[in-house]
Amino acid sequence: SRTPPTCPCPSSHVTALRYERFHQTPHIPRSLLPRASPAFMLASAPSVSTASASMFSTMRVARAAKMASQCLRKAANSRAVVGMSATQDRSFFAGVEQAPADPILGVTEAFKADTDERKLNLGVGAYRTEELQPYVLSVVRKAEQRMLEANDNKEYLPIQGLKEFNDATAELMLGKGHPAIVEGRVATVQSLSGTGSLRVGAAFINRFFPGTTVYLSAPTWGNHKNIFSDAGVEWKEYRYFDKKTVGLDLAGMLEDIRNAPDGSVILLHGCAHNPTGVDPTKEEWAQVADLMKEKKHIPFFDVAYQGFASGSLDEDAGSVRYFVERGFEIMVAQSYSKNLGLYAERVGAMNVVCASKDEATKVTSQLKRLARAMYSNPPVHGAKIAATVIADDELFDEWRQEMEMMSGRIKSVRQLLFDELTKLNPDKDWSFVLKQIGMFSFTGLSPAQVENMTNKWHIYMTKDGRISLAGLSSAKTAYLAQAIDDSFRNC
């Protein structure tokens, strides 16, 4: 019903530019149309002589092209306005579906909503004191005080992160004076704790090893699958946990690693496997390394609990160091959330141990490029805390003592839980509680039994039966044992 607008461009240049599509567009308000310039009108006026026209020929073509381009843009904008007007009652985001609650963090939300005074939150892997309160390490407070006195600024860090931190974290992983460090074969980029480090590593795999599959243990930390999926990396699982023995399924693990295509990436938990707490022995690690060497697989270690599992930084780094000694090129994601209690600071690193210094330089450049697009550069506060503690001999020794204290408290409640469970049901083998290591215990409870733990006993945990012993106090072990025994017997 509306009359199509008159194109402001002279018909001669519209024809020359084959711009007939303009006249098929919806109505455009005249106010949106570009006005023809006097020079353009002059160039197209019939009174201009041939000689004069030739003087403007170049100008005419150039201006015609510009005017036609403007018409296209105005027409497109008009179509957008008309389209929005026609669909103004419908939101662009109407089709977005509600995402499910995070399987780990969602437990905390449910716990907070519970008003029962007996409630226990054993879902999130965060250390708590005997009074079940968050704990800030003494060395962290001291490092922060030094930083405050130094009056440090808040300038951006380089993309690669704080150099002092990167140097310190590589040494913590491999050991001071390690040949790979001395020879410059370690590419290290500070990242956003373990999750961010894994995500940078996943993006690196996607870009430089396209089509390569990452193999994850079954079960594994709940976020591993999300990280690799969102990076566009295909993942599959290898057997790891034996439900019958509540221990390691070494035979199944080795069979699945053997069946993986040569050159696959195998994600390994450096220590304190999450969620099972089941780690290979040194002899079992040797068998895994032998097979991976044969299959030319790439080890990718997730090290989230160094020093927090056994209380020893060196012991907990044993698997990583062993693979490097065997001549593997490896990838390692590190986190300082647990061992320094820097949960909110998001301190971690992505490391790649390469065959040469030249390769490490190139890998570093690409890790930086990936990080730049994700978060530009990492936060400084937590990195300075970690670097200060690791570099200072006095603070470092105190940190070791605090880690021993934290891991010691977890070992203590682990023993108490075993004792209480044995009293309640001496016929059942509860030895897995003591054999597992780190902050978690994989109880073997079924989803229905976990539901009973929550609905009847107000104990919150992940649906796979994992409990965080870091959130358990000595005073609550008997109560937890009663709930576990009841769930096994009656559900």
The answer to whether the beta carbons of residues 194 and 334 sit under 8 Å apart is yes
- Annotated active-site residue 302? The verdict is yes
Say whether 331 sits in a helix, a strand or coil: strand
Helix axis angle for 357-374 and 193-208, nearest 10°, is 110
The answer to whether the beta carbons of residues 216 and 253 sit under 8 Å apart is no
DSSP state of 301: E
Question: How large is the C-alpha radius of gyration of the chain?
Answer: 32
- Annotated active-site residue 399? The verdict is no
Tokens found for residue 23:
């006249």
The string over 358-368, giving b where at least 16 C-beta atoms fall within 10 Å of a residue's C-beta and e elsewhere, is eebeebbebbb
The answer to whether the beta carbons of residues 307 and 301 sit under 8 Å apart is no
Residue at token pair 């009108």: 41
- Annotated active-site residue 430? The verdict is no
d(CA 286, CA 280): 9
- In whole angstroms, how far apart are CA 128 and each of 224, 338, 405, 473, 481? 25, 11, 12, 8, 19
Q: Helix, strand, coil proportions of the chain in percent (round to 5)?
A: 50, 10, 35
Question: Which residue among the candidates 74, 142, 338, 476 is catalytic per the annotation?
Answer: 338
Secondary structure (DSSP) of 421-483: HHHH-TTS--THHHH--SSEEE----HHHHHHHHHTT-EE--TTSEEEGGG--GGGHHHHHHH
Question: Which residue among the candidates 249, 256, 302, 316 is catalytic per the annotation?
Answer: 302
Question: Which residue among the candidates 142, 221, 235, 279 is catalytic per the annotation?
Answer: 221
Among residues 322, 305, 321, the alpha carbon closest in space to that of 271 is found at 305
Say whether 352 sits in a helix, a strand or coil: strand
Among residues 459, 418, 468, 472, the alpha carbon closest in space to that of 441 is found at 468
Distance of CA 144 to the CA centre of its chain: 26
Tokens found for residue 468:
């965080």
> Active-site residue numbers?
221, 302, 338
